Amino acid sequence: MKYFRNITLLLGFIYVTSATKLKNTYNGRNENRTFPPEFLFGVATSAFQVEGGWNQGGRGWSMWDYEIKTDPGYISDGSKYEVAADSYNQYKRDVGLLKELGVNVYRFSLSWPRILPLGTPDYVNPEGIAYYNKLIDELLANGITPMITIYHWDLPLRLAELGGWLNEDIATWLGDYARVVYQNFGDRVKTWLTINEPFILCSLGYAFGTHAPRVISPGEDFYECGRNVLLAHARMYHIYHDEFKSQGGKVAVIISCDMALPLTDSLDDAEAAEDYFAFTLGQYAHPIFSPQGNYPQRLIDRVSRASSLQGYKQSRLRPFTPEQINYIRGTSDFFGLNSYSSYYVYRNDSLKERFAAPSFEDDMYIGTYTAPEWAIETSSWMYRYAPGLYNLLVYLKKVYNDPVIYITENGSSDKMGFYDEEKIAYYRGYLNAVLDAIDDGVDVRMYTAWSLMDTFEWNHGYSMRMGLYEMDIEDPNRPVFPRKSALVYKEIIRSRVIDPDYNPEPNDL
């Protein structure tokens, strides 16, 4: 979200102090609160970010392999992805770490090109299937529940060449791939996450062009991508419930959303917050979770108005047919939420030059501001403001009729070394915000920390370290070491209490 329009810092500073006080109602209401006994704790990774083994075991190319290998300057810190955390070869080490932490759940993703090297099920790679069978069995043997993301951004190159997320056939491709996955693993895996973070997938991949396939089309392809994501997700959901119901599992999409706090009490800023939600959350969540289905009216109206002022004959947001609205509505068995940051949002006269070029940011027409004290030293885009998560969870309860929520990602980066105090403060604050939300009746049932170990952070390489375990990327064996945050998280899972005074040292694991 760093791409959003900048505001003059002075303006923000004047308002922010009072706004902070208003919202800061969370945390430590009752120091000794415990997480409910059925509440689940997990950690997450994704295939491209940890597996390595890029040319092992018959894996095909993904669009990320192509972008990285054809542009030596693409990854900001020049780091390599080919071995990553070497989880393809060291999955037993990974399960050992999970066991050490005591997590209930491990969220990982399947590499589509490892299972279907050309993207389609004409050829199913037996070595790919065997790898995931071994990982799933090892998890279950250690009492850890697998929770699988089917699509976490590593589109097979061949399908990217056929248009990727801009080709409506992607719903067929993903559905066919999902069927192979349910057939092979569904006897043991009962929680399926179809597609990771539609907004980030479509904004970074098709609007700003920082993620593969690096398309820059913020006013058109951005919306087409989102539309196809919804159709593909719905197909994956229906295939499971039509053909594999007897497996008895659950299927959900993962929506990413950060909190939008109106900068002032003005009506304009309240509207700005609603527009922020309509574009970044509602665009994907409304068609699935709202009783009537379809895009939020606010999104439809804003894009249509801007399109017509720009001389388009039709809205750049292509409407769904009534059949498509029905097909998508209700296709998620719970709400999978990834959330990291918060923004103050506003709309006022300082926002000028509207409609310079078609862009969803112009369509949305808001400004954002982050308070200086939210900054995280090691990240350019992430902000720590735990009350934001509380407010977001309460908002989701209200807007989407009290859904069951699994937090499928949350966490922060920190500098290298054992003492990752900033990350610990992040986890403690955000977990307290989860407890506050539970206190207020939000049905949150799972918290998943990102991530187990340092992962390849897409175009940022290894410049952002988010692991509970630090990994030595210079050593070919990729040794991992617990950070202080790993010990703190382990203790929270064990005791089910967030003890602010627990202060472990390196030997305490």
Nearer to ligand NOJ, 46 or 125 (CB): 46
**Distance in angstroms (rounded) separating the CA atoms of residues 295 and 233:** 15
Nearer to ligand NOJ, 176 or 258 (CB): 258
Under DSSP, the state recorded for 372 is: G
Phi, then psi, of 39 in degrees rounded to 5:
-70, 135
Strand ranges (E), 370-421: 405-409
Task: Give me the least distance between CB of 153 and ligand NOJ, in Å please.
Answer: 7
Asked if 367 and 361 touch (Cβ cutoff 8 Å), the reply is no
Alpha-carbon dihedral angle through residues 134, 140, 145, 149, given to the nearest 10 degrees = 10
Task: Give me the least distance between CB of 196 and ligand NOJ, in Å please.
Answer: 5
Dihedral angle sign, alpha carbons of residues 454, 460, 462, 465: negative
Nearer to ligand NOJ, 208 or 295 (CB): 208
**Distance in angstroms (rounded) separating the CA atoms of residues 248 and 240:** 10
Task: Give me the least distance between CB of 18 and ligand NOJ, in Å please.
Answer: 31
Asked if 470 and 454 touch (Cβ cutoff 8 Å), the reply is yes
Residue 12 has, within 13 A of its CA and on its CB side, a CA count of 17
Nearer to ligand NOJ, 49 or 294 (CB): 49
- Active-site annotation, residues: 197, 409
**Distance in angstroms (rounded) separating the CA atoms of residues 37 and 390:** 20
3-state secondary structure at position 43: strand
**Distance in angstroms (rounded) separating the CA atoms of residues 409 and 32:** 24
HEC assignment per residue over 91-119: HHHHHHHHHHHCCCEEEEECCHHHHCCCC
Which tokens sit at 196? 């990771």
Residue 177's identity, in one-letter code, is Y
Phi, then psi, of 3 in degrees rounded to 5:
-80, -15
Nearer to ligand NOJ, 197 or 361 (CB): 197
3-state secondary structure at position 39: coil
How is the chain split among helix, strand and coil, in percent rounded to 5? Answer: 45, 15, 45
Task: Give me the least distance between CB of 370 and ligand NOJ, in Å please.
Answer: 16
Asked if 354 and 365 touch (Cβ cutoff 8 Å), the reply is yes
Task: Give me the least distance between CB of 125 and ligand NOJ, in Å please.
Answer: 23
Task: Give me the least distance between CB of 400 and ligand NOJ, in Å please.
Answer: 21
Which tokens sit at 166? 């801009």
Contact footprint for ligand NOJ (CB under 6 A): 46, 49, 196-197, 338, 409, 450, 455, 457
**Distance in angstroms (rounded) separating the CA atoms of residues 393 and 405:** 8
Task: Give me the least distance between CB of 338 and ligand NOJ, in Å please.
Answer: 6
**Distance in angstroms (rounded) separating the CA atoms of residues 62 and 149:** 16
Phi, then psi, of 506 in degrees rounded to 5:
-50, -35
**Distance in angstroms (rounded) separating the CA atoms of residues 221 and 166:** 7
Nearer to ligand NOJ, 46 or 294 (CB): 46
Task: Give me the least distance between CB of 291 and ligand NOJ, in Å please.
Answer: 28
CA distances (Å), 354 to each of 302, 310, 330, 434, in order? 13, 10, 36, 38
Nearer to ligand NOJ, 49 or 307 (CB): 49
Task: Give me the least distance between CB of 379 and ligand NOJ, in Å please.
Answer: 9
Nearer to ligand NOJ, 381 or 419 (CB): 381
Which tokens sit at 154? 């590593």
Nearer to ligand NOJ, 196 or 432 (CB): 196
